Amino acid sequence: MSRDTGPGFLLRSLLFAAEKHRDQRRKGVDASPYINHPIAVAEILANTGGVKDSCVLAAALLHDTIEDTQTTREELESNFGPEVAAIVLEVTDDKSLPKSRRKQHQIEHAPHLSVNAKLVKLGDKICNLRDVANSPPVDWSLERRRDYFEWARQVVEGIRGTNGALEKVFDDAYAKMPR
């Protein structure tokens, strides 16, 4: 069975994510619309990482829907197919774990992700570092912002060797650690 993975497929993913995140804002001081974040992740994968696989780009657009909205795996699977749903699930934190455990789990689990999930994870970490540097949450101390950078670096250590261009951009973002 052939499945559409052209521009229409990506726009459908974007529309679905925008509807799911429509009432959410980013935590940063500018409180930008949440959807700007998955758009930024997909954009960096396509235009910096040279990623052409529509399933990976769709997964980037949808990557926070299970974790941060009411979306289920089944819903992603029936709308976008099992490959996209599997990537999103791989990058979804288990919210039943306490936050410190989730953070440790990301570090330990990163090397075992599929290549496609590693790409989404890399894009996500780049965009999050940029957000923390440029528009940090109002209540984040300097120490908390620096801890976030350090944690992201540890996660990305387990992903290196996946995409040189994205890793370079991650290192550039990391170099802007708040001080």
Q: Which of 44, 64, 110, 125 binds Zn ion (CB under 5 A)?
A: 64
Q: Which is nearer to Zn ion, 9 or 34 (CB)?
A: 34
Considering only residues 158 to 177 of the shown chain, the ones binding Zn ion according to CB under 5 A are none
For 81, the 3-state DSSP assignment is coil
User: Quick check: is 67 catalytic?
Assistant: yes
Stretch that binds Zn ion, among 15-23, 117-125, 139-147, 152-160 (CB under 5 A): 117-125
User: Cα separation of 166 and 8, whole Å?
Assistant: 26
65 or 162: CB nearest Zn ion: 65
If one asks whether residue 83 binds Zn ion (CB under 5 A), the answer comes out as no
Q: Which range, of 17-25, 48-56, 58-66, 93-101, touches Zn ion by CB under 5 A?
A: 58-66
Kindly tell me which of 55 and 126 has the beta carbon lying closer to Zn ion.
Answer: 126
- Measured between alpha carbons, how far is 43 from 177 in angstroms, rounded to an integer? 23
Alpha helices (H) along the chain? 7-20, 36-47, 54-62, 65-68, 73-80, 82-90, 99-109, 115-134, 142-157, 164-174
**Is residue 90 a contact residue for Zn ion (CB under 5 A)?**
no
> Which residue of the set 68, 75, 77, 93 is catalytic?
68
Closer by beta carbon to Zn ion, 64 or else 83: 64
CB 13 within 8 A of CB 80: yes
Neighbours of 106 (CB within 10 A): 19
Contact predicate 99/139, CB 8 Å = no
Q: State the residue number with the nearest CB to Zn ion.
A: 124
Q: According to CB under 5 A, which residues from 121 to 140 bind Zn ion? A: 124
Q: Which residues pair with 25 in a beta bridge?
A: 33
Active-site amino acid positions: 67-68
Give residues in contact with Zn ion (CB under 5 A).
Answer: 64, 124
